[in-house]
Structure 1
Amino acid sequence: MGTHVIKMPDIGEGIAQVELVEWFVKVGDIVTEDQVVADVMTDKATVEIPTPVSGKVLALGGQPGEVMAVGSELIRIEVEGAGNYQEGASKAAAPAAPAVASAPAPQPQVEAKPVVAAPATASEHRAAAIVPREANERPLASPAVRKRAWDAGIELRYVHGSGPAGRILHEDLDVFLAQPTTHTQSAPGGYAKRSDAEQIPVIGLRRKIAQRMQDAKRRVAHFSYVEEIDMTALEELRAHLNKKHGDSRGKLTLLPFLVRAMVVAARDFPQINATYDDEAQLITRHGAVHVGIATQGDNGLMVPVLRHAEAGSLWANASEISRLANAARNNKASRDELSGSTITLTSLGALGGIASTPVVNTPEVAIVGVNRMVERPMVINGQIVIRKMMNLSSSFDHRVVDGMDAALFIQAIRGLLEQPASLFVE
């Protein structure tokens, strides 16, 4: 038997260090070739690290949240044969990097599901659920699973995990919730006193989001502007186009119309479609409109980029927005797809509220926020009529964008959306 050492691979783009986000194996586990053993995060995306060999895990090289240098030891695996590592050998004698380091970086994914063991049966779930973990033992689970458990009043230490390394999945919560006896024993009722608390390390994507938001609020002189828009005519047009072309070209949401309005308005306000390098004191006004589409996933907010929105039709942009959003939610978006935006569009959909104050996505200087659309009585030509109304809540970098220009830009978008034919008049 020998030892095979996997080192932190070179992800590319000159990255010298990455953050270890999550282990999918533990010491003593048996792994197979190409099985994903860990997730690491660069400044742009999460990347899966597979093992090029089969064997038994001997040691893990770091803890989740730890920043590790490229080329440092990630994991040791006991293998058949000599392996690539000898105890006592000098660093010079050790291989510069395992095969995984020279292979192309794998595409990032948010949920790695390597097969470590056969999934637990329902009876095995029930048997395991009644035996809690130690009180200080923190079960493995994604943020989405933890939130769902918290909302349901479930202590995760009572839930059997069928995922890699005992990770608790949504399916495990489904099984647990179907057990009224164990559920009521471990989860307090609506009026019961609770003394439990959970500490969640800020690591991985959540750490990157926190750093970017803090940096944006610290460096950018934010100001926000809210405008009300009558969306009735545009919604009639959207319904007509979907009825006529939906089956052949795909259904249109509101987003491609908003993107088109931003593209057209930016022609007269190039200072809005810009980026600002505050260290070099340099503003770059972009001819291309690369729209960042703020997308919420289980692990946090990501902003994939719709490139050259100015050149795409409604359906082309709609298709690309859908593809990018799915890639971001599944954490499969590439680093290139998550960088290079010149202006950002953010929407909370049906949860959009009346108004919001979105944070500028630096180094951009503007972000357009979409609020909820509602039917409201409005006075038009002295008559009370029901119209579909929606607010745009947008924020700007006041170091670059003057208040008047921001207001005129949003008013231009308003005019285009309220008279949707003008979106397509050249």
Structure 2
Amino acid sequence: MGQHVIKMPDIGEGIAQVELVEWYVKVGDTVTEDQVLADVMTDKATVEIPSPVSGQVVALGATPGQTMAVGSELIRLEVEGAGNLKLATATAPAAPQPAPAVSAPPQPRVTPEVVAKAPEPEVTTERPLASPAVRKRAWEAGIDLAAVKGSGPAGRIVHADLDAAQQPLGKGPVCAAEDQVQAVPVIGLRRKIAERMQEATRRAAHFSYVEEIDVTALEALRQQLNGKWGEVRGKLTLLPLLVRALVVALRDFPQLNARYNDEEQVVDRHSAVHVGIATQGDHGLLVPVLRDAQQRDLWGNANEITRIAAAARHGKAEREILSGSTITLTSLGALGGIVSTPVLNLPEVAIVGVNRMVERPMVVDGQIVIRKMMNLSSSFDHRVVDGMDAARFIQAVRQLLEQPATLFIE
């Protein structure tokens, strides 16, 4: 038997270090080749690290939340054969042979725990196996994972186990007998989100502008398009129509389709419209990028939005999908509320927030009629965007959405 050290691989893109998010194995576990050992976090993408060999886990190189350099020891396995670890005792010069009449004192056995660079903390070995999504759901539901029996591979807890663990409504106590505090580490994507939000609010001079829009005609057009071409081209949501409005409006407001490098004091205005689509994923908020939105029709953008949003939602988005946006569109869907104050996706200078669509009585030509209304709550970087320009831009978007035929006039 020998020991095999698996080092943190080079993920590419010039990444020098990553954050360890979660272990899927613990000391003593037997792993097989290609089995996923851990999740690590780069800038925004979560990457799975598989095992190149089979063996038994001897030591883990870090705990979740710690930063690891590329090339550092990730995990150590005991394997069949010699392994790839050369212990110091194996390469040291041979000691002189003792005299026959004198017995050599017994040498201490070099155990895996002694040579391990980062012994596994006790708490890690007892941590139940579960994905980040399962942990988040358990935390929100107040379920102690230590008390749940996992039915997945190697005893991993899956969503079905949480379903079985939850009590039917009305069966549990109204409130806990005493306060129970659960310490939830802010690691992985949640830490990256926290850092980016803090940096955005610290560096940019945010200001928001809210306008209500009558989307009755726009919604009628969407339903008409779906009725005629939905079965062939796919159903349209409001998002591709909103993207189209941004593309058209930005022709007259190039200063808002921009990225501000505040260190060099340069604003880069883009002719192509790369729309960030704020997406709530399994592990937190991500912003995949709809590239070159100006080059596609409604269905082309709709299909691309579906593709990149699904990749982000399930943690499969590559770095290219998560970078390079020039303006961001964010929406909470049915939970959109009346008004919101979205935080800029730096280094962009504008973000457009979509609120909930509601039917309200409105006065049109002196008559009270029911109209479908929706607010746009948008934020801008006041360091480089004047309030007048921001207001004129949103008014241009409003006019396009209220008269949807103008969306397609070149």
TM-score by length of 2: 0.88
Say if 2:206 is the partner of 1:200: no
Contact 2:44-2:286 at 8 Å conserved across structures:
no
Per the alignment, residue 15 of structure 1 pairs with 15
Alpha-carbon distance, 1:177 to partner: 2.8
The structure-2 alpha-carbon separation of the partners of 1:21 and 1:89, relative to structure 1 and needing over 3 Å to count, comes to farther
The letter of the residue matching 2:151 is S
The structure-2 alpha-carbon separation of the partners of 1:89 and 1:52, relative to structure 1 and needing over 3 Å to count, comes to farther
Aligned counterparts of 1:277 and 1:228: Cα–Cα separation in 2: 32
Per the alignment, residue 49 of structure 1 pairs with 49
Alpha-carbon distance, 1:193 to partner: 3.4
The alignment's C-alpha RMSD in Å is 2.1
Contact 2:275-2:291 at 8 Å conserved across structures:
yes
Alpha-carbon distance, 1:218 to partner: 0.3
Per the alignment, residue 25 of structure 1 pairs with 25
Say if 2:195 is the partner of 1:211: yes
The letter of the residue matching 1:392 is L
Say if 2:57 is the partner of 1:68: no
Aligned counterparts of 2:71 and 2:202: Cα–Cα separation in 1: 34
The structure-2 alpha-carbon separation of the partners of 1:296 and 1:179, relative to structure 1 and needing over 3 Å to count, comes to closer
Per the alignment, residue 248 of structure 1 pairs with 232
Aligned counterparts of 1:255 and 1:410: Cα–Cα separation in 2: 16
Contact 2:351-2:379 at 8 Å conserved across structures:
yes
Say if 2:140 is the partner of 1:156: no
Alpha-carbon distance, 1:89 to partner: 7.2
The structure-2 alpha-carbon separation of the partners of 1:137 and 1:321, relative to structure 1 and needing over 3 Å to count, comes to same
Question: Which secondary structure does the structure 2 equivalent of 1:268 belong to?
Answer: coil
Per the alignment, residue 103 of structure 2 pairs with none
Question: Which secondary structure does the structure 1 equivalent of 2:251 belong to?
Answer: helix
Deviations 1:175-197 (A, max 9, x none): 223789xx96xxx5124434211
The structure-2 alpha-carbon separation of the partners of 1:39 and 1:175, relative to structure 1 and needing over 3 Å to count, comes to same
Per the alignment, residue 229 of structure 1 pairs with 213
Per the alignment, residue 97 of structure 1 pairs with none
Per the alignment, residue 347 of structure 1 pairs with 331
The letter of the residue matching 1:307 is R
The structure-2 alpha-carbon separation of the partners of 1:48 and 1:153, relative to structure 1 and needing over 3 Å to count, comes to closer
The letter of the residue matching 2:5 is V
Match of 1:421 among 401, 405, 409: 405
Match of 2:269 among 285, 300, 305: 285
Per the alignment, residue 259 of structure 2 pairs with 275
Per the alignment, residue 321 of structure 1 pairs with 305
The structure-2 alpha-carbon separation of the partners of 1:417 and 1:179, relative to structure 1 and needing over 3 Å to count, comes to closer
The letter of the residue matching 2:48 is E
Counterparts of 1:92-131 in structure 2, within 5 Å, are none
The structure-2 alpha-carbon separation of the partners of 1:149 and 1:11, relative to structure 1 and needing over 3 Å to count, comes to closer
Q: Which runs of 5+ in 2 are unaligned?
A: 92-122
Alpha-carbon distance, 1:403 to partner: 0.2
Contact 1:2-1:81 at 8 Å conserved across structures:
yes
Question: Which secondary structure does the structure 2 equivalent of 1:369 belong to?
Answer: strand
The letter of the residue matching 1:299 is H
Deviations 1:52-86 (A, max 9, x none): 11111111111111111111111111111111112
Contact 1:234-1:418 at 8 Å conserved across structures:
yes
Match of 2:317 among 328, 333, 356: 333
Say if 2:349 is the partner of 1:360: no
The structure-2 alpha-carbon separation of the partners of 1:147 and 1:35, relative to structure 1 and needing over 3 Å to count, comes to closer
Per the alignment, residue 173 of structure 1 pairs with 162
Counterparts of 1:255-274 in structure 2, within 5 Å, are 255-274=239-258
The structure-2 alpha-carbon separation of the partners of 1:54 and 1:416, relative to structure 1 and needing over 3 Å to count, comes to same
Q: Select between 225-234 and 142-151 the one with higher mean Cα deviation.
A: 142-151
Alpha-carbon distance, 1:140 to partner: 4.5
The structure-2 alpha-carbon separation of the partners of 1:89 and 1:378, relative to structure 1 and needing over 3 Å to count, comes to farther
Aligned counterparts of 2:209 and 2:38: Cα–Cα separation in 1: 43
Alpha-carbon distance, 1:44 to partner: 3.2
Question: Which secondary structure does the structure 2 equivalent of 1:411 belong to?
Answer: helix
Aligned counterparts of 1:385 and 1:51: Cα–Cα separation in 2: 64
Per the alignment, residue 409 of structure 1 pairs with 393
Contact 2:282-2:315 at 8 Å conserved across structures:
no
Question: Which secondary structure does the structure 2 equivalent of 1:372 belong to?
Answer: coil
The letter of the residue matching 1:230 is D
Question: Which secondary structure does the structure 1 equivalent of 2:65 belong to?
Answer: coil
Match of 1:385 among 345, 366, 369: 369
Q: Select between 318-327 and 146-155 the one with higher mean Cα deviation.
A: 146-155
Aligned counterparts of 1:89 and 1:8: Cα–Cα separation in 2: 25
Alpha-carbon distance, 1:154 to partner: 3.0
Aligned counterparts of 2:168 and 2:407: Cα–Cα separation in 1: 55
Deviations 1:239-261 (A, max 9, x none): 00001000000000000000000
Question: Which secondary structure does the structure 1 equivalent of 2:161 belong to?
Answer: helix
Per the alignment, residue 5 of structure 2 pairs with 5
Question: Which secondary structure does the structure 2 equivalent of 1:75 belong to?
Answer: strand
The structure-2 alpha-carbon separation of the partners of 1:194 and 1:243, relative to structure 1 and needing over 3 Å to count, comes to farther
**Identity rate of aligned residues, in percent?**
74
Question: Which secondary structure does the structure 2 equivalent of 1:208 belong to?
Answer: helix
TM-score by length of 1: 0.85
Deviations 1:124-162 (A, max 9, x none): xxxxxxxxxx9x965444454345334544333321233
Aligned counterparts of 1:154 and 1:194: Cα–Cα separation in 2: 16
Aligned counterparts of 1:397 and 1:203: Cα–Cα separation in 2: 28
Contact 2:25-2:129 at 8 Å conserved across structures:
no
Per the alignment, residue 84 of structure 2 pairs with 84
Contact 1:24-1:164 at 8 Å conserved across structures:
no
Bigger Cα Rg: 2
The letter of the residue matching 2:209 is Y
